[in-house]
Amino acid sequence: MAPILQRHDMAMSAIAAYDGGMRDIETILVLTGAGISAESGLATFRGPDGLWEGHRVEEICTPQALARNPALVQNFYDMRRAALARVVPNAAHHALARLDAEWPGELLIVTQNVDDLHERAGARRMLHMHGELKSALCRECGGRVRWEGTLADGPACPLCGGKGGLRPDIVFFGEMPYQMERIEEALAGADLFVSIGTSGAVYPAAGFVQTARYHGAQTLELNLDPSAGSHFFHESRVGPAGLLVPEWVGDMLGDRVTDAG
Ligand code: APR
């Protein structure tokens, strides 16, 4: 097996070929959205039959909606949590987990998704900026607990015992995304920013490409359709993540160079 250093050099030559510039890529920041989980059978938000098709965002995904109609909101997220048991990670999730395991430089996967498919594929260098379906947040003690079951029936908080205080640990519209400081740091230090399966409709994530470019990063988009922010990227590849992501990861890890070896 080729020593890490050598493989890294191979990856570099692949990158040089890709952007035509002699630019060293050590630090990669990957942003993912609902599109990366579409081929696993999870609905996106704004596509045909998207999650927001049947619901108005204001009715479901705001703190006001939770206060106004807790049963509707809690049932919506209970349904999505239960659906996770019926899906598995796809080739794109597995490819990113491979990159996580084999990339010798810095890597951070920032997902807007609240599903657990990245982790189930084995990704570790990652964070959920919009929360997780399998986590509950207690409005009484502020604590977070891993959660597999339902919340609509108002279970007691395992930490403080408070009843009815648990809500989905999801960042609602109007709330601050999680770990923004860490994300800003990673954006400032990225040599390569890659966006996968997101429409570029929701900020602050939709602005990451501009921030990364401002700090000098190369930027690449992998998406089924051109997104609202495609024109900000150095390169935008159109197609299903299940094909584009394994191909891109293979390039980064020098598969083609090794094969040509
Ligand atoms: N492969 C690659 N991209 C895909 C695929 C696929 N198989 N299927 C769909 N896409 C792309 C669509 O072209 C679209 O651009 O994924 C994108 C999904 O966009 P949205 O449904 O808007 O989801 P996302 O961008 O993740 O939404 C951002 O909005 O509703 C909030 O908090 C929620 O995190 C979410 C945020």
Whole-angstrom Cα distance, residue 141 to residue 233? Answer: 42
Band (pLDDT 50/70/90 cuts) for residue 49 is low
Nearest CA to ligand 1 atom 8: 35
Task: List the catalytic residues.
Answer: 130
Whole-angstrom Cα distance, residue 73 to residue 172? Answer: 11
The mean pLDDT value for 3-17 works out to 42
Supply the DSSP symbol for 126: E
Q: Residue 205 CA: which ligand 1 atom is closest?
A: 28
Query: Does 75 show up as a binding residue in the annotation?
Result: no
The model's pLDDT over 64-96, given as tens digits with 9 standing for 90+, comes to: 999 999 999 999 999 999 999 999 999 999 999
Whole-angstrom Cα distance, residue 62 to residue 55? Answer: 12
Residue of 46, 57, 59, 175 with the most ligand 1 atoms within 8 Å of its CB, for mutation: 46
CA distances from 82 to 8, 29, 42, 90, 112 (A): 41, 30, 12, 18, 19
CB-based contact 224:36 (threshold 8 Å)? no
CB-based contact 28:106 (threshold 8 Å)? yes
Superfamily (CATH H level) for 22-42+89-130+178-260: TPP-binding domain (3.40.50.1220)
Spacing, Cα 12 to ligand 1 middle (Å)? 30
> Domains of the chain: which residue ranges?
22-42+89-130+178-260, 44-86+131-170
106 versus 163: which is more confidently predicted?
106
Class of domain 44-86+131-170: alpha beta
Residue holding tokens 């860490």?
182
Residue holding tokens 């015992």?
161
Question: What is residue 1's predicted lDDT score, i.e. its pLDDT?
Answer: 39
Spacing, Cα 116 to ligand 1 middle (Å)? 16
For ligand 1, whether the C-beta of 37 sits within 6 Å is no
Whole-angstrom Cα distance, residue 105 to residue 118? Answer: 19
Whole-angstrom Cα distance, residue 210 to residue 89? Answer: 29
Question: What is residue 164's predicted lDDT score, i.e. its pLDDT?
Answer: 83
- Mean pLDDT of the chain, nearest integer: 89
Question: Residue 171, SS3?
Answer: coil
The mean pLDDT value for 106-125 works out to 98
Question: What is residue 9's predicted lDDT score, i.e. its pLDDT?
Answer: 43
The mean pLDDT value for 46-65 works out to 76
Question: What is residue 260's predicted lDDT score, i.e. its pLDDT?
Answer: 58
The mean pLDDT value for 154-165 works out to 94
Query: Does 185 show up as a binding residue in the annotation?
Result: no
Spacing, Cα 22 to ligand 1 middle (Å)? 32
CB-based contact 96:245 (threshold 8 Å)? yes
Residue 222 pLDDT greater than 50, yes or no: yes
Question: What is residue 18's predicted lDDT score, i.e. its pLDDT?
Answer: 47
Chain centroid to Cα 180, Å, comes to 14
Band (pLDDT 50/70/90 cuts) for residue 118 is very high
